[in-house]
Amino acid sequence: MRIRVIVLWLAATLPAANAQQYPSKPIRYIVPYPPGGAADIVARAVGQKLSETFAVPVVVDNRSGAGGNLGTDLVAKAAPDGHTLLMGNVGPLAISVSLNRKLPYDPLTDLAPVSLMVIYPNVLVVHPSLPAKSMSELVAHAKTRAKPLAYASAGTGSSTHLAAELLKTMAAIDMVHIPYKGGGQAIVDVMSGQVPMYFSSALGALPHIKSGKLRALGVTSAKRSRAIPDLPTIAEAGFPGYEAVNWVGLLVPARTPPAIIARLNSEIIRIFRQPDVEERLVSQGGEAETNTPAQFAAHIRAEIRKWAQVIKASGMQAE
């Protein structure tokens, strides 16, 4: 009986002891995308802040491939000791579940959410020649056209693609998808008039909106973007409940001790409350949005359900 009590005591105290000693070595922060993108920029800012607090190096490791699935899988299979972090994204955590039948990881069981960090609204932009200056006019124009309205995207299954498919379903309009290999060429072709519309990142669209090369009709977030406060959301422009944003958050391998997850969560919340971090995000078209591990887990589940319905309705398949 005494031995059993000692075993139970050890089982209860070891995770707490490990958390007190955490981190005990450099932290590897995996970003499943190439350097220079929004997720990479956020990861490096967070990594620097964590390194200052933890007094150990936080090394950002860019492991791009398979739309973010490669790097995500690496973290899912890493040791659950808090020394491998993931810059999670809506693509590999919510969209890929329905788009890839042979996903090598399960985002709900192989990873442990720490906190949502940033949301990146997209902006629906059109070429100025399109006879639509509002969402209602765009929908009316699409319904009276002899041919379906074409829209560009940054690629099949991207947030820019799904944002359009969600609008297509909610507005009951017919549109044709023109996929590109990235958003750079997509926005160039919309500005030249080769494709009439595109759901661009706010950061990518803002200079062209200000110059008059593009016309903005609505922002895809639930509330207005601080980067473009005068632009209404698509939801308030006539489509209640519409929301389609790119988001990033912090995750660790499943079975990471709860005390370590709690400590990381408190650090993330502290970091994103700092004025310099918030200002930097707004300048890049992002919005800080942190939460608890349980809330982030619920968010991921809701996003999986939401995009599964859109993907099924559209009939899209992975390229």
Q: Which residues span the domain enclosing 25?
A: 2-120+246-314
Residue 107 lies in a domain: yes
Contact (CB, 8 A) for 32 and 68:
yes
Q: Which residues pair with 29 in a beta bridge?
A: 60, 85
Tell me if 226 is assigned to some domain. no
pLDDT at position 97, please? 93
**129 in the same domain as 101:** no
Total domain count, the chain: 2
| Per-residue pLDDT band at 279 (split at 50, 70, 90) | confident
Over 50: is that where the pLDDT of 5 sits?
A: no
Whether 45 and 182 share a structural domain: no
In terms of domains, do 210 and 110 share one? no
Q: Please report whether residue 262 resides in a domain.
A: yes
Instruction: Provide the percentage of residues in the chain whose pLDDT is more than 90.
Output: 78
pLDDT score, position 91 = 93
Residue ranges of E strands in the chain: 27-31, 58-62, 84-89, 111-126, 149-153, 175-179, 197-201, 215-219, 245-253, 287-288
Say yes or no: 108 and 132 in one domain.
Answer: no
Let me know whether 12 and 87 are in one domain: yes
Judge if 212 and 255 occupy the same domain: no
β-bridge pairing 149-153 and 175-179: parallel
Whole-number pLDDT of residue 171: 95
Query: What pLDDT does 283 receive?
Result: 82
Q: What is the pTM of this model?
A: 0.89
Does residue 231 belong to any structural domain of this protein?
no
Per residue in 191-226, pLDDT tens? 999 999 999 998 889 899 999 999 999 999 999 998
What CATH number does residue 151 fall under?
A: 3.40.190.10
Among residues 219, 254, 287, which one ends one of the domains?
219
> Identity (one letter) of the amino acid at 88?
G
Q: Which of 281, 215, 218, 226 is nearest to 244 (CA)?
A: 218
The domain that holds 54 is classified in CATH as 3.40.190.150
Residue 113: name the closest of 318, 252, 283 by CA: 252
What integer best gives the mean pLDDT of the chain? 92
Q: What is the mean pLDDT of residues 33-54?
A: 93
Residue 82 in 3-state DSSP? coil
Q: Are strands 175-179 and 27-31 parallel, antiparallel or unpaired?
A: unpaired
